[in-house]
Chain A
Amino acid sequence: MAASGCRGVRSILWKYGSCGKNFCLSRSKTVPQLPVRQICVSSSLWKKNLAAAGPQKFTQEFIDKQVEEFEIGKRHLANMMGEDPETFTQEDIDRSIAYLFPSGLFEKRARPVMKHPDEIFPKQTAVQWDAEGRPFHFLFYTGRQSYYSLLHDVYEKILAMERHQDKMRNKGLFASETKQILLTGSRWQLKEEIEEYLVENISDHGYMRLIQLLEKLLSMPYCSLEEDFILKFRKQLEVQSSKHEIPALQHDPQGVAFSVADGRRKTAKASITLRDSGSGNITINGRNYLHCFPLLQDREQLMFPLHFVGMLGRFDVEGSVEGSGHSAQAGALRLAISRALLSFVSEGEVERMRQAGLLTADPRIRERKKPGQEGARKKFTWKKR
């Protein structure tokens, strides 16, 4: 209706406008031609574009207020629980909340939680410019200031090293066999780790470029001058054998040394006591192992760890095992014997045993049967028609 009314007005104005042309030019100024604009009335204009807004941003005042409320709440909680507000730690808070708000939810992250706001609200980059609007970092306008400034620094070090090399050559003190940095037992930090360090996203190409520059730095003769800087980007690999838990060596009232260890394979659970008596008997579940394991293969599995370290006749093995079948029981016992042996054996032997696979638990379990299939993998007969 408004549109038709509009059109009506427009037609009247057009008539006046055309009449106006017959008069002298000054007349046309009194009746201006109003442009008709179709105003867009769709809701997409005033609705907030939620996708384009990005992740929610919290102001610094809001976060400060949250921190204040947290501190006050912590003291209230301590008073409620009858404890000292001054020495109320995060563990105490977690315990109190679990007591006051018991929750049977399986998802731990859905349970009620009271933590410091810094752990709850995601870390946001602080404002990067001063009061006049001038950014703090000289590479701000590249968009990736930390990454590019890192590249800049590494290149600067390369140039400095070349100048140092030239100076030494001029003085005649250049020595090609200078101290090298030890790189064994460490690896370059992964892209994710460097992203965490720089608090910025890097592309794969960018990561490769950084590693190339660091390798170039390493290839120079005087790289030992920048050892600390380079080692910041190398991660030490843990020595695998040190991760093994060696069972404590205990002693009998008679003075005989023994150790106890457990092992598992499929659903079989085994427990072994290794006594340093010097006989070489193996007793499982109170019976001789010949009766328990008539099959040679199973007995070989029991023998293998002792045979590997060469202490076949030294130990007395006493064990119990339950569950699963004979082969799994033998495997469980083997693992338990190997673990018990760790306390009688040297460091180098431990590494040898680890590399032989004696200390690795076999993770294979029975795969479940799926519906629509005969078994775990076997399908029903396929008929073409």
Chain B
Amino acid sequence: MAAGVLPRVRQVLRSPRLVSAVFSCHGQTFSSAAAAPDTAATEKILNFPLTQPDYFHLSELFTIKDLFEARVHLGHKKGCRHRLMEPYLFGSRLDTDIIDLEQTAEHLQRALNFTAHVAYRGGIILFVSRRRQFGHLIETTARECGEYAHTRYWKGGLLTNASIQYSPGVRLPDLILFFSTLNNVFQQHVGIRDAAKMNIPTMGIVDSNCNPSLITYPVPGNDDTPVAMEMYCRLFKMTINRAKDKRRQMELLKGISASV
């Protein structure tokens, strides 16, 4: 039980620090939510969720059995294995790498928790993937959450040269979710490096042939099977909707208590 408490405590210590660090070193003007809160109520709304380990109760969204049934544990063959993915692998069976679902569950919980907090604070979330098979699914998921998607050809300076690519004064995404970290030529997606350059936290579903180094919240898992992708999309959509609903609820309560 003590062993179980410790990672949760570490999680608590990690998330507020990281969140505050992210919002302070993200050079662009950030959301009004993160700007200097004027009243104690707004401060409470923003800071109280950070004190809880699982404020949005995301651990009830999935179990290891669900991950197994969605074939999340299936990796690529031994020849495609990336050196840096070896700690996340449980083993290999008939040359196929098997991803350790206990580690996946931990990482996924952390990633979902971070996503929920970002969505709660009104951050912009960008869904990225370069797999043509799932492009439409990801765009639909993003639209249903009220967030943004980019499943097309990534132009060079989208993040690094944003004021010229779009208009001056554009707000960059606060979190980028990579549903597949490779592009169509099996190289690492340019967005990972660019997000790291622009201090934007990233989440990535890393398969056994991907490089998890630059990603802030890697989630080792299968990114080739439709069942697995549908599950990830469903989980992230539910997380973001839950977080936004919670925020709206808190704002309403604040409105009611202020009027009272």
User: Which positions in A face B, CB cutoff 8 Å?
Assistant: 127-129, 132-135, 138-144, 148, 152, 155-156, 159
Enumerate the 4 nearest inter-chain pairs by beta-carbon distance, A residue then B residue, closest first.
Answer: A133-B171, A138-B143, A141-B150, A142-B150
B203 to chain A, nearest CB (A): 16
B163 to chain A, nearest CB (A): 12
> Which residues on A sit within 8 Å (CB–CB) of B150?
139, 141-142
A144 to B152, CA, bound (A): 10
> Which residues on A sit within 8 Å (CB–CB) of B148?
135, 138-141
A139 to B173, CA, bound (A): 12
> Which residues on B sit within 8 Å (CB–CB) of A139?
139, 148-150
A18 to chain B, nearest CB (A): 40
Q: In which size bucket is the chain B interface?
A: 20 to 34
User: Which positions in B face A, CB cutoff 8 Å?
Assistant: 29, 31-32, 122, 124, 126, 136, 139-140, 142-143, 146-150, 152, 155, 158, 165-167, 170-171, 173
B29 A141 Cβ-Cβ under 8 A:
no
Show 30 A/B contacts (Cβ-Cβ < 8 Å), sorted by A.
Answer: A127-B167, A128-B166, A132-B31, A133-B29, A133-B124, A133-B170, A133-B171, A134-B122, A134-B124, A135-B124, A135-B148, A138-B146, A139-B148, A139-B149, A139-B150, A140-B166, A141-B148, A141-B158, A141-B173, A142-B150, A142-B152, A143-B155, A143-B165, A143-B166, A144-B152, A148-B152, A152-B136, A152-B139, A155-B136, A156-B140
A127 to B166, CA, bound (A): 10
B75 to chain A, nearest CB (A): 29
> Which residues on A sit within 8 Å (CB–CB) of B170?
129, 133
A140 to B142, CA, bound (A): 12
Apart from A128-B167, A133-B171, A139-B150, what are 6 other A-B pairs with CB-CB below 8 Å?
A: A128-B166, A133-B31, A138-B139, A141-B126, A142-B150, A156-B136
A148 to B143, CA, bound (A): 13
B192 to chain A, nearest CB (A): 15
B217 to chain A, nearest CB (A): 20
A140 to B126, CA, bound (A): 10
- The chain A residue with its CB closest to the CB of B155 is A143
B171 A143 Cβ-Cβ under 8 A:
no
> Which residues on A sit within 8 Å (CB–CB) of B158?
141, 143
A210 to chain B, nearest CB (A): 13
A50 to chain B, nearest CB (A): 15
A155 to B32, CA, bound (A): 36
- The chain A residue with its CB closest to the CB of B165 is A143
- The chain A residue with its CB closest to the CB of B32 is A132
A234 to chain B, nearest CB (A): 25
A277 to chain B, nearest CB (A): 73
B152 A129 Cβ-Cβ under 8 A:
no
A308 to B167, CA, bound (A): 65
> Which residues on B sit within 8 Å (CB–CB) of A135?
124, 148, 171
> Which residues on B sit within 8 Å (CB–CB) of A140?
148, 166
- The chain B residue with its CB closest to the CB of A152 is B139
A143 to B148, CA, bound (A): 12
> Which residues on B sit within 8 Å (CB–CB) of A138?
139, 142-143, 146-149
A350 to B122, CA, bound (A): 68
A218 to chain B, nearest CB (A): 19
- The chain B residue with its CB closest to the CB of A155 is B136
A144 to B155, CA, bound (A): 10
- Which listed residue, B122, B136, B173, touches A132 by the CB 8 Å rule? B122
A134 B171 Cβ-Cβ under 8 A:
yes
A233 to B143, CA, bound (A): 25
B172 to chain A, nearest CB (A): 9
